[in-house]
Amino acid sequence: MRIVLVGPPGAGKGTQAAYLAEKLSIPHISTGDLFRANISQGTSLGKQAQEYMRAGQLVPDEVTVAMAEDRLNQPDAQRGFLLDGFPRNQFQAEALDSYLTDRAQSLDAVLDLEVPESEVIKRIAGRRTCRNDSSHTFHVEYKPPKAEGVCDSCGGELYQREDDSEETVRKRLEVYHRETEPIIDYYKAKGLVVTISALGKVAEVTQRAMDALGAKAA
């Protein structure tokens, strides 16, 4: 299957993408991974992206699209893929359509993970990260540490990253509503969108998604 995954920040796209890609035996292709791979490999696209990122600017659509197309040309993506974070706006969505049309291919589904804005803020603003090791993460409500403010794994101090502050989350939501949400209507007009609730346990959301994609493929 060829799938695009959309949803607001905090919807659990990365987590669900990894599980779904494994279950469907297709590669999980995320924008973040594309940037990191191109930068670490020193590709011309990676060098361009790094210049913009160092300047605190968004990577231009043309560079992002070129990275995505290069990745989609690789052998493991020929039988399907799951895109996470791409397309980010209508320009990128139209570029993806053109790319697929040129190869006599098309998307099978656009999976929309729906979650209330209040839950998004609670999920992200409640995150706490260990100062000693950023891979040690907790949540004040959903995964609290045994001792408040102390990492269970190493005893390091837990803190709220600036990116996880409520103010930053609200700004990220504004960007999502302005730039990414419109592509849902774009894909709805093509009959591709399946919307599921992203509330509940991870396994429950994954099963919901599999059922929805199965119905779409039937």
Tracing tokens 């020929």 back to the chain, one arrives at: 78
| pLDDT tens-digit map of 164-179 | 999 999 999 999 999 9
Query: Does residue 178 carry a catalytic annotation?
Result: no
What does pTM read for this prediction?
0.90
Query: Does residue 36 carry a catalytic annotation?
Result: no
Beta-bridge partner residues of 195: 112
User: How high is the mean pLDDT of the chain?
Assistant: 94
Arithmetic mean of pLDDT, 80-90:
96
Arithmetic mean of pLDDT, 154-167:
94
- For residue 77, CA distances in Å to 22, 81, 83, 97, 120 come to 13, 6, 11, 16, 31
The single residue of 2, 127, 128, 208 carrying the catalytic annotation is 127
Query: Does residue 128 carry a catalytic annotation?
Result: no
What is the pLDDT, as a whole number, of residue 108? 96
Query: Does residue 127 carry a catalytic annotation?
Result: yes
Arithmetic mean of pLDDT, 38-52:
94
| DSSP secondary structure of 92-161 | HHHHHHHHHHHTT----EEEEEE--HHHHHHHHHTEEEESS-TT-EEETTTB--SBTTB-TTT-PBEE--
Closest by alpha carbon to 116, among 198, 42, 53? 198
The single residue of 103, 161, 178, 188 carrying the catalytic annotation is 161
| pLDDT at 215 exceeding the cut of 90 | no
- 8's tokens: 């607001």
DSSP 58: P
The single residue of 2, 13, 123, 128 carrying the catalytic annotation is 13
What is the pLDDT, as a whole number, of residue 56? 85
What is the pLDDT, as a whole number, of residue 216? 75
Cα separation, 157 vs 129, in Å, equals 8
Query: Does residue 2 carry a catalytic annotation?
Result: no
What is the pLDDT, as a whole number, of residue 218? 63
Closest by alpha carbon to 195, among 110, 132, 116? 110
What is the pLDDT, as a whole number, of residue 58? 86
The single residue of 122, 170, 172, 216 carrying the catalytic annotation is 172
| pLDDT at 25 exceeding the cut of 90 | yes
The single residue of 2, 88, 128, 208 carrying the catalytic annotation is 88
| pLDDT at 217 exceeding the cut of 70 | no
